[in-house]
Amino acid sequence: MFALIAELSRWAIPGVLLIVLLAAFVRGVKVYETFVDGAEAGFSTAVKIIPYLVAMLVAISIFRASGAMEVLVAALSPVLDQVGLPAEVLPHAIMRPLSGGAALGIASDIIKIHGPDSFLGQLVSTMQGSCDTTFYVLTLYFGSVGVKKYRYSIISGLLADLTTLVASVYIVNVIF
């Protein structure tokens, strides 16, 4: 099963390219011209994202480097202790929606210290794998089309992240 999915991943992009090019050619599309036409907007799209990403990453970077995250962890850990969440994974849980790289760093630390097959190791692996960097995705995607008012997107994104946390604790508890 895993081998099958891995194989599928390896073939996905060459496969898509092959299908798209052949289908376009058969339909009589001028392939080269059409590709260049579409690709033209690539630079401006990427550049458009810059101010949004700068704003968000500066805030996240300050939040991390100042030690504010540790303060938040210290404030939240008694609460989360009550619901059975190990305090060790709390920094990861807070970092996961903010910064993918930082969360991965915390996860590998926990895996290194406690071992990959320990309860904490399995838990943090599951948490790392099962959610995305909410703030980064929102900033990037909304930024690319110039949307500044995210409405309730942050709330639904964070609710999903919270669910991942609770579900991971429950599932890992049951399985391992």
Partner 1 sequence: MVNYVWLAMIIFGIIVAAVNGNIEAVTRAAFDGADAAVKISLGLIAIITFWLGVMKLAEAAGLVRALAWLVQPVMRFLFPGVPKEHPAMGAMMMNLSANILGLGNAATPMGLIAMQELQKLNRRRSDTASDAMCTFLALNTSCITLIPTTIIGIRLLYGSADPTAVVGPTIMATAFSMAVAIIADRMLRKIFGGRER
Site residues for partner 1, 110-129, by CB under 8 A, read 111-112, 115-117, 121-122, 125-129
**Tokens found for residue 85:** 């969440």
Q: Is 79 in the site for partner 1 (CB under 8 A)?
A: no
Rounded CA-CA distance 106/119 in Å is 16
Q: Is 60 exposed, middle or buried (0-12, 13-18, 19+ CB in 10 A)?
A: buried
Q: Write the interaction track for partner 1 spanning residues 39-78; mark x where CB under 8 A is met and - where it is not.
A: xxxxx-xxx-xx--xxxxxxxxxxxxxxxx--x-------
Question: What DSSP element (H or E) covers 163?
Answer: helix 153-175
Asked if residue 75 lies in contact with residue 40, where contact means CB atoms within 8 angstroms, the answer is no
The single residue among 18, 34, 79, 81 that binds partner 1, judged by CB under 8 A, is 34
The count of chain residues that interact with partner 1, using the rule CB under 8 A, is 100
The stretch near partner 1 (CB under 8 A) out of 78-86, 87-95, 104-112 is: 104-112
Nearer to partner 1, 87 or 163 (CB): 163
